[in-house]
């Protein structure tokens, strides 16, 4: 990309004002003959804990028929296949291609994020609709590849949805609406947090095969992006939603604080992000087995000149100012948000809605977390323009893995 295109990625169409209502306002489902919902023939790539769980939610939605599955580990793919009574179960690094070739209309991608750009591009090239987890990539080239794939999907009349749960929550949507309408005055400070435990981080083996299961890959920058990109991204995404913009720079420090780390990811973060309009974002994150999660493990507060507000993954969504107050509990968002997105994906496919509004947000939040990850690791101030110019690719070592 040219330099002006590199810098433009941080500005184009960020977080359109209507995204919350687009995600939350669900029109009538398209019905087939006799009033029944037409089932979309779906392939699932990545059948571990969340992948198999997401497959079950697709099945329970009633708008999908699980047609084929793939996982690097054959026993995992076969167990998922048995759950849905199918024998099109593929494995190895190329298993996703077999799913694409099996006759599916849409694909759900739930693998370690290093693989998302390659898998999404292949699915779009084959004319499939794409539903995928976050983060969309582990590096800047991967973000650009997802952006390009999603653009091609729209041009081909295909849907591309990235599954974030917080923006689907009605109470969070109400808080954001009131903030944008000036209920707390001019926002001047954002404070986001992600406070949770670590994932298992066993000793490194001869290959990365054992890093591909049980979320071990979150410990590895090349495979999972690291803790900040993979987990803290929920809180950063909330902050960008409130900010209606992307940071122009980040600075801070980070470190590996978990016991006996083997992966190269840091897991404690104290970061500051700057926005072009002067808004400041302070982010703190920890992924330690200390049992602490505060009043809610993930969320973002916004402080304005006349009041304050908070959106959250769990706990209370609220807004308080001199003229109004709003307080509501956010419950079961992990499952409820996924179910909303699965239902929305079905409607978009059926109604031919390929505007794909979640993609811009997903790419921007991924870039923001990569910016924070690099600022913390380098203990330096890095601008978004610098990060994009560097265009640094992070390569996973796939030697010795089964194809």
Domain ranges of the chain: 3-21+38-166+337-358, 169-332+366-390
Token code pair at residue 144? 């650009």
Fold of 3-21+38-166+337-358: Rossmann fold (3.40.50)
DSSP state of 236: H
Is the pLDDT assigned to residue 353 strictly greater than 60? yes
What per-residue confidence (pLDDT) applies to 295?
76
pLDDT tens for each residue of 357-398: 999 999 999 999 999 999 999 999 999 999 999 999 999 999
The mean predicted confidence, pLDDT, of the chain is 92
pLDDT digits (tens, 9 = 90+) for 102-131: 999 999 999 999 999 999 999 999 999 999
Does 9 score more than 50 pLDDT?
Answer: no
Structure confidence at residue 296 as a pLDDT band (50, 70, 90): confident
Domain 169-332+366-390 fold is Dihydrodipicolinate Reductase; domain 2 (3.30.360)
- Omega of the bond leading into 135 within 30 degrees of 0 (cis): yes
User: Residue 68 pairs with which residues in a beta bridge?
Assistant: 43
CATH topology agreement for domains 3-21+38-166+337-358 and 169-332+366-390: no
Q: What is the mean pLDDT of residues 30-47?
A: 79
Tell me: pLDDT of 183 over 70.
yes
Name the one residue in this structure whose structure tokens are 């969340």: 50
* SS3 of the chain: helix, strand, coil, percent, to 5: 40, 20, 35
């Amino acid at each position: 990309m040219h330099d002006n295109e590199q810098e433009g990625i941080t500005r184009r169409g960020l977080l359109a004002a209507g995204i919350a209502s687009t995600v939350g306002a669900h029109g009538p489902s398209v019905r087939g003959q006799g009033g029944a919902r037409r089932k979309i023939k779906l392939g699932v790539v990545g059948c571990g804990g969340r992948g198999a769980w997401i497959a079950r939610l697709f099945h329970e939605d009633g708008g999908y028929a699980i047609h084929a599955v793939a996982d690097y580990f054959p026993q995992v793919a076969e167990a998922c296949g048995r759950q849905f009574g199918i024998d099109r179960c593929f494995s190895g690094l190329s298993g996703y291609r077999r799913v694409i070739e099996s006759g599916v209309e849409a694909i759900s991608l739930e693998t370690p994020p290093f693989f998302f750009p390659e898998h999404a591009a292949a699915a779009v090239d084959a004319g499939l609709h794409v539903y995928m987890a976050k983060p969309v990539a582990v590096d800047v080239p991967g973000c650009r590849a997802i952006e390009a794939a999603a653009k091609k999907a729209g041009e081909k009349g295909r849907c591309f949805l990235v599954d974030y749960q917080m923006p689907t929550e009605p109470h969070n949507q109400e808080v954001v609406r009131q903030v944008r309408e000036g209920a707390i005055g001019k926002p001047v400070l954002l404070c986001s947090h992600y406070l949770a435990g670590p994932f298992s981080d066993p000793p490194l083996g001869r290959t990365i095969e054992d890093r591909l299961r049980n979320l071990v890959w979150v410990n590895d920058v090349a495979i999972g992006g690291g803790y900040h990109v993979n987990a803290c991204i929920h809180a950063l995404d909330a902050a960008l939603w409130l900010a209606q913009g992307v940071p122009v720079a980040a600075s801070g420090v980070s470190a590996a604080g978990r016991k006996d780390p083997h992966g190269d990811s840091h897991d404690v973060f104290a970061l500051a992000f700057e926005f072009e309009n002067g808004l400041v974002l302070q982010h703190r994150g920890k992924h330690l087995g200390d049992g602490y999660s505060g009043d809610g493990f993930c969320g973002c507060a916004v402080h304005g000149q006349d009041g304050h507000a908070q959106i959250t993954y769990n706990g209370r969504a609220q807004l308080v100012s001199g003229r109004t107050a709003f307080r509501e509990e956010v419950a079961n968002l992990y499952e409820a948000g996924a179910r909303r997105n699965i239902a929305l994906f079905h409607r978009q496919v059926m109604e031919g809605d390929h505007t794909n509004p979640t993609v811009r947000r997903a790419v921007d939040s991924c870039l923001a977390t990569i910016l924070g990850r690099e600022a913390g690791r380098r203990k330096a101030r890095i601008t978004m323009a610098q990060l994009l110019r560097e265009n640094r690719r992070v390569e996973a070592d796939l030697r010795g893995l089964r194809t």
